[in-house]
Amino acid sequence: MRSALIPEHALRITEIFLSIQGETSRVGLPTVFIRLTGCPLRCSYCDTEYAFYGGTSMAIASICEKTASYNTPYVTVTGGEPLAQKQCLSLLEVLCDQGYDVSLETGGALDVSTIDARVSRILDIKTPGSGEAHRVLWTNLEHLNNEDEIKFVLCDEGDYSWAKELVLEKALDKLCVVLFSPVYAKLPPEKLAEWILRDKLPVRLQLQMHKILWGEVAGR
């Protein structure tokens, strides 16, 4: 896309960096992460609290220029909660127009229905252990397709049972890929694997590869 066609909107950006995708079905791929500033949620296990405030104002053209410098086709827009900034929708559209394979990580409390159809929406359904389950916008499930993914981050067996019932009741695996991820350093992944195998649950166990590689390092 010619730069003249890029909107002049600005967003608050915490960081833009290249790393290995540690989650979702794109795990292992070299990916540019665009982390937007701000989030209306306060999950008990949040590992990106540094993105709640501050950030740098950047025009979409500048964001795209920085993204292009890494020379990889995979881009993830994340946060914080990226949809808390309305101009995120324009950014996603521009990135798709420029030919990137774009995914969006969202906490599930804000509407996903107006996101560009070319974007893969990674919808994180908050569990009771997160402290934010009451914020889930359930109508979002009506807008998902098989290019999207649903993620549950699980604190304990109570969270697992809650998520399991939801998967079975709403047949979430028929909508798209469903990911079960243990909270890092809190729920042993081998325990979660045992529960999934015991119940023959149609979900994918997900570990955070970036934390296995580098631990809890900001900007990774």
Contact 88, 113 (CB under 8 A): no
Model confidence band, residue 7 (pLDDT cutoffs 50, 70, 90):
confident
User: Mean pLDDT across the stretch 55-82?
Assistant: 97
Q: Considering the chain, what percentage of its residues have pLDDT values greater than 70? A: 96
Q: Please tell me the distance from the alpha carbon of residue 41 to that of residue 29, in angstroms, as a whole number.
A: 28
- Asked whether residue 219 is assigned to any structural domain, the reply reads no
This prediction's pTM: 0.93
Q: What is the pLDDT of residue 126?
A: 98
Block residue for tokens 């890029």: 6
Q: Smallest Cα–Cα separation from 75: which of 35, 47, 125, 131?
A: 35
Model confidence band, residue 172 (pLDDT cutoffs 50, 70, 90):
very high
Dump pLDDT digits (tens) for 31-51.
999 999 999 999 999 999 999
Model confidence band, residue 185 (pLDDT cutoffs 50, 70, 90):
confident
Q: What is the pLDDT of residue 193?
A: 98
Model confidence band, residue 212 (pLDDT cutoffs 50, 70, 90):
confident
Q: What is the pLDDT of residue 4?
A: 46
Contact 193, 205 (CB under 8 A): yes
Which residues, including other chains, have CB under 8 Å from residue 25's CB and lie 6 or more apart?
A: 149, 177, 204
CATH at residue 37: 3.20.20.70
Asked whether residue 194 carries a pLDDT value surpassing 70, the answer given is yes
Dump pLDDT digits (tens) for 107-160.
999 999 999 999 999 999 999 999 999 999 999 999 999 999 999 999 999 999
Q: What is the mean pLDDT of the chain?
A: 94
Model confidence band, residue 218 (pLDDT cutoffs 50, 70, 90):
low
Asked whether residue 88 carries a pLDDT value surpassing 80, the answer given is yes
Asked whether residue 215 carries a pLDDT value surpassing 60, the answer given is yes
Crossing angle for the helix pair 60-68 and 88-97, to the nearest 10 degrees: 40
Asked whether residue 216 carries a pLDDT value surpassing 80, the answer given is no
- Asked whether residue 101 is assigned to any structural domain, the reply reads yes
- Asked whether residue 218 is assigned to any structural domain, the reply reads no
Q: What is the pLDDT of residue 69?
A: 98
Asked whether residue 3 carries a pLDDT value surpassing 60, the answer given is no
Dump pLDDT digits (tens) for 151-162.
999 999 999 999
Neighbours of 89 (CB within 10 A): 17
In total, how many domains does the chain have?
1
- Asked whether residue 220 is assigned to any structural domain, the reply reads no
Beta partners for 55? none
Q: Please tell me the distance from the alpha carbon of residue 68 to that of residue 48, in angstroms, as a whole number.
A: 24
Model confidence band, residue 5 (pLDDT cutoffs 50, 70, 90):
low
Which residues, including other chains, have CB under 8 Å from residue 14's CB and lie 6 or more apart?
A: 35, 36, 37, 50, 51, 54, 55, 56, 79, 80
- Asked whether residue 183 is assigned to any structural domain, the reply reads yes
Domain of residue 204: give its range: 3-213
